[in-house]
């Protein structure tokens, strides 16, 4: 397969594809349209861009030692919509225990995903605390609320993705080379998604509505506040 596009063009297309996952349909469509224009100009397909040899990185994002009740939801969102793979790790450094979330992918996709992770990590907690105070709910409703919040956000992102693909004709697929690289580097095979709680119907319903209205704030192209370490 002949591949004559400059590396800078390929990198730009990758960044546009990453931005095409924005929860703002207008912004996502602009990025997808521009990516489609470049693909046409250089006679490329998304598959060719993603198949091109590239360097993957791992960004280690610090996590609290105490288990976060919505951590799994954030991982699912990143992997389903932002072209990265993630996994957790823990260990000891200078006799102190630490935990990290490792975000893996191309530099452009990891930059976007780490921003999204940092943003949603704060917003999930803020949304729950607002609901808890307004509805005088205890922590027993928390799991149901987070489940609804996740499903509302997931459905919103999926709907935007489908609308952008339909209007631009640009079908974005997962990076199979990243999948193979992850399996080779980290030997990760457990991809089973956990079961989620919907025990409190009111909390679940309100969470789902909040998730459907949650928008990932502008600033996705800037450096994330989560200052994790990058590993080559």
pLDDT digits over 48-60, tens only?
A: 776 666 678 999 8
Residue 55's pLDDT is 79
Whether the predicted model's global pTM rises above the 0.85 cut: no
User: Phi and psi for 104 in degrees, rounded to 5?
Assistant: -120, 135
Beta-bridged to residue 98, according to DSSP, are 91
Residue 84: burial class (beta carbons within 10 Å; 0-12, 13-18, 19+):
buried
pLDDT at 2: 45
Number of H helices, E strands in the chain: 8, 4
Structure tokens given for 214: 């949650």
Phi, psi of 89, rounded to the nearest 5 degrees: -150, 160
pLDDT reported for residue 138: 87
Cα atoms found within 13 Å of the Cα of residue 54, Cβ hemisphere only: 23
Residue identified by tokens 């993705």 is 161
Q: What is the pLDDT of residues 93-139, one digit of tens each?
A: 777 888 889 999 988 889 889 999 999 999 999 999 999 999 988 88
Domain ranges of the chain: 7-231
pLDDT (tens digit per residue) in 9-45: 887 887 787 777 666 777 777 888 888 888 888 887 7
């Amino acid at each position: 397969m002949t591949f004559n596009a400059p590396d800078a063009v390929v990198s730009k297309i990758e960044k546009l594809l990453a931005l095409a996952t924005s929860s703002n349909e207008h912004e996502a469509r602009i990025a997808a349209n521009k990516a489609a224009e470049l693909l046409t100009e250089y006679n490329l397909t998304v598959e060719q861009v993603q198949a091109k040899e590239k360097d993957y990185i791992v960004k280690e994002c610090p996590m609290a030692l105490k288990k976060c009740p919505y951590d799994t939801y954030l991982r699912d969102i990143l992997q389903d919509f932002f072209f990265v793979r993630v996994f957790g790790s823990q260990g000891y450094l200078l006799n102190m225990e630490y935990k990290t979330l490792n975000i893996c992918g191309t530099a452009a996709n990891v930059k976007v995903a780490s921003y999204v992770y940092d943003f949603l990590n704060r917003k999930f907690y803020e949304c729950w605390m607002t609901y808890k105070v307004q509805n005088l709910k205890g922590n027993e409703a928390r799991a149901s609320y987070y489940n609804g919040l996740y499903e509302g956000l997931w459905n919103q992102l999926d709907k935007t993705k489908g609308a952008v693909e339909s209007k631009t004709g640009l079908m974005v697929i997962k990076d199979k080379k990243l999948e193979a690289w992850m399996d080779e580097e980290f030997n990760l095979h457990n991809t089973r998604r956990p079961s989620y709680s919907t025990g409190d119907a009111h909390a679940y319903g309100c969470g789902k509505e909040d998730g459907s209205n949650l928008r990932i704030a502008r600033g996705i192209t800037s450096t994330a506040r989560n200052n994790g370490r990058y590993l080559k």
